[in-house]
Structure 1
Amino acid sequence: MAGDIHSEVVQLGAYKVEKGRSSVSGLSSGAFMTVQLHLAHSSSFAGAGVIAGGPYRCAESFRAAAPVPEDAYELNALHLCMNPLVPQTTPDAQHLARLAHQTAEAGEIDAISHLGGHRVYIFTGSKDSVVYSSVVARTREFYELLGVGSGDIAYDDSVPAGHSIITDNAEDSPLGTNQPPYINNGGFIQSHGILRHIYGDLNPPSERLSGRLVRFDQTEFFGNEPRASMSRFGYAYVPKAVEEGAQARVHIALHGCKQGYNFIDFTFGQSDFASQPPYGNRYITTTGYNEIADSNNISVLYPQAEGTDNSTTQNPDGCWDWWGYSNPHPMRPDYYSRNAIQIKAIHGMLSRLGG
């Protein structure tokens, strides 16, 4: 059936892609990574979608949280950047905007000026108890401070949703749910709203997919280094017209924690296959990206993070790195820069596709 995941493993292909018109979106850790990737390679993108995510370098909001940088970043991530005790302790958008400018001036990310004219979708569910709405509000402020016009930002905090990407699938969790698989039924397909905001008028989504959902070996993009905490395989949906040579755009869809295709629970640092949840590939196949991409010549890239819990990397929930667990040198963090192992890998995939 068209759109099924092929069992074979292929090399990620190259297509005719409009330069500088790619985009990225994500949920939760994927949303934090969306902001990092967007800033690191803003010249490659036209916009971004942030669902329940905080501003750039959020984990460095309060450096004095602990004597050791790694501990300080983790404490910031767990508290100030997710569920601050009171609104006054949410991340300081002005401080983080200054950090972004400094990072760009140091040549570690693209020039901030590229963000002008970008279209940014920002969403927080009013029932989200994982990443509080007060944090996500700072993301809007952060982008405005960097020159993204208020008219180019779609900000929505009005939906009584829990921590989730929203669909209209009857089988998904109730709208206010705050638990895995973090895909909730709210009567609308959020991915469609994200892409429509970024790209403007789009054709209606396809009722039947024309293209292929391919599985590729993503280890070639990160050298199979364990600290990357990335899975062996990544996925991409390529519409038939794109495979046949039509000009395309690329959208990168970043899953959240516990949403990778091979997520496994950890118990005392060991993989617990007996309690492996049946989420599988739901973020890849049921969140609606493929259907609207198919009818608009948009290829969708689904990079995959995976859980690791050992002496090298503590990432048991398979989150994208937005607090520094993948840093090669604890005293010199690079998780937010073009040199970060995950950002470099994802941008390498985008470049391979042609974007």
Structure 2
Amino acid sequence: MSKARARFYRHEAKLRRNICATRTATMKCPSIRNLSAAVALAIVNFVHPAAHAADALPTLHANPSRTSVSGLSSGAFMAVQYAVAYSSSVVGLGVIAGGPYNCAFVNIGGVVTCMSGEPSGSMSLAAAEGFASVGQIDPVAGLAKFKVYVFGGTKDRYVHPPVVAATRDFFQAAGVPPRHLAYVNKMPAGHAFIAPAFGNACGTNAAPYIDHCPENGKGKNYDQPKAILEQIYGPLNPPADTLSSIVQPFDQSAFAGDGTSMDSVGFVYIPRECSADASGCAVHVVFHGCRQGAQSVGSDVYASVGYNRWADTNRLIILYPQAVTSQPIPANPEGCWDWWGYTGPTFQVQSGVQLSAVKSMVDRLTAPK
């Protein structure tokens, strides 16, 4: 058995345990019989020794002009980098607890300022304009068309509110109009994705870095994947009660080799309709945070945050690329995405090893017929 396949088995073995462990008092722990067909199939496949080889990422011919991205923490910085570097093919993004483009290189104090200080959104825009002027990223004018969601929890101990505000300032300076820029900064959330039915209590700053928080005045939990995808794509169809497909592992080493601090296996959710005909489907890339890849939290992000249920009914393919811990070179002990240069000085432009790897994955999913 390959190491990649064995790792995937371990992730799926945690799936039911994680669901039960994070239920609130009003959420019952489901039996296998009562789980959705997709989750049940994932658990059954775990115990089957021939299941889930990490196959090649399929070529699907999805719409290349409707790609979007989102992420938490280092994944939020990465989402910003991807969107800025490839703005001509990106329509929008969701930024959860992350700072502006090239933040660590343009602000005195570097990483510390970009987590707990007051970085400058306008300086980040100037950096993007400089890279665009020499052809290292797409023209900055493309940012103005974006639909943007920016979120920061008031109880986030890792990325402080002024950092998130600088991300808002960056996109405002880039010309994104107010109606296309959602800035959510009043929720008492910790450093986490906000899932409607999974994770820690609101305000928690701990693994798996997924919280569930009540939505004020609505009598239900906040659904962040819905908020992000609706901000980018407009009104959505209701989410699926039962998924039409399952999350699939794929061979990420085909895109990212040694020195990238990326795992050998990535994950993708492809709704059944998109498997049959992806021409009307779009790709949304979800970047996990530090200590939040599958290596650290198993299936929690790719199975439980809640993107897949919205993807299933809205013709969206969800790509979950994976960073991994690495030492001593590159020095990435927390399994973060590179937003400060541990893979080299070109981490924030199209030639950066992580950005180019993920773009190659998106290109595979959106290849022309």
The one-character-per-residue Cα deviations of 1:176-213 (angstroms, maximum 9, x if unpaired) are 11122110011122111100110001101100000231
Give me the whole-angstrom Cα distance separating, in 2, the residues matched to 1:168 and 1:97.
34
User: Identical aligned pairs, as a percentage?
Assistant: 40
Contact 2:230 2:236 in 1 (8 A): yes
Q: Which runs of 5+ in 2 are unaligned?
A: 1-36, 43-50, 214-220
Question: By how many angstroms is 1:163 displaced?
Answer: 0.6
Contact 1:212 1:240 in 2 (8 A): no
Q: Decide which of 337, 340, 345 is 1:323's aligned counterpart.
A: 340
The one-character-per-residue Cα deviations of 1:53-86 (angstroms, maximum 9, x if unpaired) are 0000000133xx5xxxxxxxxx511x100012xx
Give me the whole-angstrom Cα distance separating, in 1, the residues matched to 2:262 and 2:322.
6
Q: Decide which of 186, 189, 196 is 1:158's aligned counterpart.
A: 186
Q: Decide which of 47, 55, 69 is 2:100's aligned counterpart.
A: 55
Alignment of 1:256-267 (within 5 A): 256-263=289-296
CA RMSD of aligned residues (A): 1.3
Contact 2:80 2:101 in 1 (8 A): yes
Contact 1:38 1:48 in 2 (8 A): yes
Which letter does structure 2 place at the counterpart of 1:298?
L
Structure with bigger helix share is 2
Show the counterpart of 1:230. Answer: 262
Give me the whole-angstrom Cα distance separating, in 2, the residues matched to 1:215 and 1:168.
24
Is 1:7 aligned to 2:89, yes or no? no
Give me the whole-angstrom Cα distance separating, in 2, the residues matched to 1:150 and 1:93.
16
The one-character-per-residue Cα deviations of 1:237-287 (angstroms, maximum 9, x if unpaired) are 000001111420000000000111112xxxxxxxxxxxxxxx211000000
Question: By how many angstroms is 1:168 displaced?
Answer: 2.1
Give me the whole-angstrom Cα distance separating, in 2, the residues matched to 1:92 and 1:114.
20
Alignment of 1:288-307 (within 5 A): 288-307=306-325
Show the counterpart of 2:85. Answer: 40
Give me the whole-angstrom Cα distance separating, in 2, the residues matched to 1:203 and 1:282.
24
SS of aligned partner of 2:115: coil
Q: Which runs of 5+ in 1 are unaligned?
A: 66-74, 85-89, 264-278, 328-332
The runs of at least 4 aligned residues of structure 1 exceeding 2 Å deviation read 1-6
Which letter does structure 1 place at the counterpart of 2:252?
Q
TM-score between both structures, scaled by the size of structure 2: 0.83
The one-character-per-residue Cα deviations of 1:282-336 (angstroms, maximum 9, x if unpaired) are 00000000000000110000000001121x2211110000000001xxxxx1000
Contact 2:196 2:306 in 1 (8 A): no
SS of aligned partner of 2:116: coil
Structure with bigger strand share is 1
Which letter does structure 2 place at the counterpart of 1:34?
A
TM-score between both structures, scaled by the size of structure 1: 0.86
SS of aligned partner of 1:315: coil
The one-character-per-residue Cα deviations of 1:89-132 (angstroms, maximum 9, x if unpaired) are x1122211111101111101001111222100000001111000
Show the counterpart of 1:330. Answer: none
Contact 1:235 1:303 in 2 (8 A): yes
Alignment of 1:184-333 (within 5 A): 184-186=211-213, 187-222=221-256, 224-225=257-258, 227-246=259-278, 247-263=280-296, 279-310=297-328, 312-327=329-344, 333=345
